[in-house]
Chain A
């Protein structure tokens, strides 16, 4: 668990981070969100002591990090920087092997781990391993950045706008993949972004910053239903409701049974991995009152607007592995 208490950073009179007290539970995906210059990077870098706080404390599993050796602390937290930061003088394999080597792992274990990590982020180790960073596309480089951060299996990952430099489609792939990795490996992630969609899609909890101060922190649903002030409301804008709907899937909806007669045959069908936003679009687009929800092509039940809304209140997010990102039944 990571906790900050009254954490503050000042640069000659200018306060970049102002008395931030947050806590991130183990296995949680926490997002630091805010406009440019709001102090996100500074706050993140105080967690692994890349920036020394002016005042306040950072606790990791209850231990004050000020008393720890900075290098050891950093090796226990994977770090993905804004611009991927791959070492241009090393091959992809060597890049991914960096922390295991620093930790003195033997060669066999390191090699095996590098293969696993490259596979985890969807890169073929044989093809990509011997390449140099400047031979990769932006998306590939960012995957390698994630693989490197995960290589020594740190319990915590710090990520600073890791998917900033890629096109929207690749970005969405990387986001969904990141969420899967975080859940599968039960990592505690602190993720910096200024992209609202990205934050709402990934976060278990969001801390919204402005001028170094936390305006509000909580689940995206909290921030949507109970914004603490006008800044929070305005920052998320009018589409937050729809964005929140994109967090939830039909698999979380309690379906109504299929009517015994054949009347449902005329209803539009949708896969259970579709998001509620996609389901809503389907309702609005077809003008139907209900949708038939299918699992592997078999109709399982129906859902209407009210049942979508109930799932939204329940607060569950798409159960593991069913989010398709694309809703229509093939």
Chain B
């Protein structure tokens, strides 16, 4: 039997080249985020140029590394919870028992996103008190939907032929999930994680309202004291962080492939 000639040799950028291209976009954002957080003199010089005639450009109550730390802790805690809850709900919606609840779960997730986050925090305060908890409740509520949607879309998007073949060669449902369904759904699920993180990084700035700390603190103080430098001090690192996460979790150009 003659072998057909190999097609597409060299047509695809090698994995290492794609990795390089990926880090070329990520590295500057990472550098910018770190610089704003840790280089007090440099960053305050930038703020002074942007907002001249301001007596103080840096918020005095809490240093930027601590504010960034608060922010990351809020986002990480809420995202981890949202990932577990969203993954469980999405996974449940895909099981035989969960299928009837699929639409309900998606609709409730949608509904949760329409409630303003400030309202969620306000409603949560009687239960949780002030601090990080009400923010985490709000962020989880927001983050759960993209996870549910993308877990469902990702798994449902697995080609029927691959699913069929996995069953046909004798994989158990768990083996099929781990070695075929999750790897194939991974790019879509990763997209959901990215959406959640980006939403959460910006939403977490609202935490300052309920005394949860974070990059929202200087922004809030800036409003009260008519100090635009404070607003930028909180906003610029938050923007850089959101962009960094977005780029970090966006695979470099070329075909996306689950590893």
Contacts and interface: CB of A to CB of B under 8 A. Distances in A.
Contacts of B180: 87, 89
Nearest to A138: B4
B108 to A, nearest CB: 31
Nearest to B1: A122
B183 A89 contact: yes
Interface in A74-127: 74-75, 79, 81-90, 98-99, 102, 121-124, 127
A74 B169 contact: yes
Contacts of A85: 161-162, 164-165, 168
16 contacts: A50-B168, A71-B172, A74-B167, A79-B165, A85-B168, A87-B166, A87-B179, A88-B162, A89-B184, A90-B179, A99-B169, A99-B170, A102-B171, A102-B175, A140-B4, A170-B4
Interface of A: 48, 50, 70-75, 79, 81-90, 98-99, 102, 121-124, 127-128, 131-132, 135-137, 139-140, 143, 148-149, 158, 170, 173-174, 177
B119 interface: no
Nearest to A145: B165
Interface of B: 1-4, 6-8, 12, 159, 161-162, 164-172, 175, 179-180, 183-184, 257-259
A81 B182 CA distance: 21
A193 B6 CA distance: 28
A260 B166 CA distance: 64
Contact of A173 (B1, B12, B162, B166): B1
Contacts of B258: 89
A75 B168 CA distance: 8
A131 B7 CA distance: 10
B165 A89 contact: no
Given A83-B161, A140-B4, A75 B170 contact: yes
Contact of B165 (A75, A81, A139): A81
Contact of B161 (A84, A89, A90, A98): A84
A50 B12 CA distance: 37
Contacts of A174: 1
A310 B182 CA distance: 59
Nearest to B183: A89
Nearest to A94: B179
A177 B2 CA distance: 11
Contact of A88 (B167, B171, B184): B184
Given A81-B161, A88-B159, A88-B162, A102 B169 contact: yes
Contacts of B165: 79, 81, 84-87
A223 B26 CA distance: 68
A81 B164 contact: yes
B183 A74 contact: no
The 4 A-B pairs at the shortest CB distance, nearest first, are namely A85-B165, A122-B1, A74-B170, A75-B170
Nearest to A143: B1
A127 B6 contact: yes
A313 B1 CA distance: 31
A99 to B, nearest CB: 5
Contacts of B3: 122-124, 140
